[in-house]
Structure 1
Amino acid sequence: MRRTFLFGCFLIGMVLLESCVPQKKYHEVNIRNAEMMRSLRNTEEMLDSTRRELASLQESNENLQEQLEAERQENSELAGRLESAMSTSSSVRQELTEKEQRLSEQQQRLDLLQNLLDEQRAVMENLKTTIDKALVQYRSDELQINEQDGKLYVSLQDKLLFSSGSATVNREGREALGKLAVVLNNSPDIQIMVEGHTDNVPIRGSFEDNWELSTARATAIVRILTGTYDVAPERVIAAGRSFYEPKAPNESQEGRAKNRRTEIILTPRLNELFQLLR
């Protein structure tokens, strides 16, 4: 519409000029008008170009705004993930610290347990040495001392202690028990179990069977240790195993002789160890 208006004004001006001005002036006016028209067209073209550039800039700005919003959203998500990761990392660090503390406590318990085991082992080794010295006069076919599974086994053959089929301890047996009792009374932390063993030959006489004989023999030894030699009764247990735990096959006379025995089993007190293992 603006262009049409300008063009109309231009025509009116031309008509007026033709009627009012000389030919030379008219020609000059035409030239100026032509220049003005070119300038107008250039201006309109520049205006159109500027509008297109403006529209392009607006479109770019909108795109940039969208990108900015997307980046803000992404940054927000990254911030959330970072916060979550930091929280997880803090939780993991705390868990690791707790595990390290538990491991440290367990290691301390293990060290203490190992120290106690070493102490108990030293006690048992010293006890074995002392008993060996106390009972050195007895032959190997009468008495043996062995260490097994942290326990000390003093094995006395029946010929050192009893007559055949009897539960009465003889004089030599009492002397051997007296020498052993001295060591036991000097080691108050040692628990004592007395186990009677027989061969598999059925018993005849005062006892119903081999089990009763083995139990009676163990009880007789316990009474001598506690009644004659003052070993604390609460430390001692009597048990009969009959022929159910042989040391050798019962098919030979030699094997049966090894099986007819009384074992005095010495065990260190393990209260502290049991408390650590709870």
Structure 2
Amino acid sequence: MKKLILLSISAMFILGSCVSKKEYAALESKQKETQDLLNTATIKLNSCLSKAQGLEDRVADLRRTNDNLISSNESLTMLTSKGASNVEKTLESLKEKDLRITRLQDAVSKKDSVMLALVTSLKKEVGMNDPDIEVNVEKGVVFISIADKLLFQSGSYNVTTRAKEVLGKVAIVVNSKPTFECMVEAHTDPVPYNKPPLIDNWDLSVKRATSVVRVLEDLGVSSKQLIAAGRGEYQPLVDNDTADNRSKNRRTRIVILPKIDEFYDMIDKEMKNLEADGK
């Protein structure tokens, strides 16, 4: 080891004797410049390496984002396809419902047309100019309202001869609709009534209704079509504050209407037709 150190010192003396101070200074300056360049290059290299790492990280993030987007797009495509299918099914369902509503409206329209034709026949048979008889249609039902004074004498439930003429015309129209029902509603005023065997206005209204029903039976109307109903004083048209108003409230109303079960049968038939068309 000592020999090596002695050899190094000897070499330095020999070199020092061979290179001038000026050349040594130039070499030293050149070495410093080279070192500075090396340091600068090292800094730039480290910066580039750092940026490269950042770019690699960014590329990795972009790849992950791209993969997520591809996955989301596939999911969205599936959802869109499913949504389109659902929308199509919804539209089909709406079309079917619209068709059903149209069929039901047609069924109701047919019934209304029949009822309007019935009103026309009644007005023609009974007469439109008689103030004691009123014929109209409300909510698909035909009403014939006959004033009390035309049907009965005061406090009586026996039908007058004039009333039998009017009821005869009603019977003609009712008989033309054997599948319809005919309900006779009798109404009274609130003036107390008590003539045995009847004890009040309920009794009187029911008895008057059954009296009209019996006349219609005699005129050929089927008993199966007839309904007798007593309303008493509880369905007034106007206030019972005057004699004239009480006279208006004393009335008999004949209600002609299609049988409910037949009406629903007509609707059910239309629904079955719809289902058959859809197959």
The question of 1:206 aligning with 2:197 is answered yes
Q: Deviations over 1:211-243 (max 9, x none)?
A: 11101111222233345413351x332211111
Counterpart of 1:164? Answer: 154
Counterpart of 1:115? Answer: 106
Letter aligned with residue 190 of structure 2: N
The question of 1:250 aligning with 2:243 is answered no
1:271 pairs with one of 264, 267, 273? 264
Aligned pairs for 1:141-156 within 5 A: 141=132, 143-156=133-146
1:65 pairs with one of 40, 56, 59? 56
What RMSD in Å do the two structures reach over aligned CA positions?
3.9
Larger radius of gyration: 1
Q: Deviations over 1:116-166 (max 9, x none)?
A: 33222222221111001111287222x221222332210112333223333
| Unaligned stretches of 5+ residues in structure 1 | 1-7, 19-25
* Sequence identity (%): 31
Where 1:241 maps in the other structure, the secondary structure is strand
**Offset at residue 174 of structure 1 (A):** 2.7
Counterpart of 1:185? Answer: 175
Q: Distance in 2 between matches of 1:95 and 1:262?
A: 58
Moved more, 76-85 or 256-265: 76-85
Where 2:73 maps in the other structure, the secondary structure is helix
Letter aligned with residue 97 of structure 2: Q
The question of 1:102 aligning with 2:93 is answered yes
Runs of 4+ in 1 over 4 A off after TM superposition: 36-57, 272-277
Equivalent residues of 2:171, 2:219 under 8 A apart = no
Equivalent residues of 2:107, 2:267 under 8 A apart = no
**Offset at residue 69 of structure 1 (A):** 0.9
Counterpart of 1:93? Answer: 84
Letter aligned with residue 198 of structure 2: F
Q: Distance in 2 between matches of 1:217 and 1:274?
A: 36
Number of aligned residue pairs: give it.
259
Moved more, 181-190 or 254-263: 181-190
TM-score, reference length from structure 1? 0.73
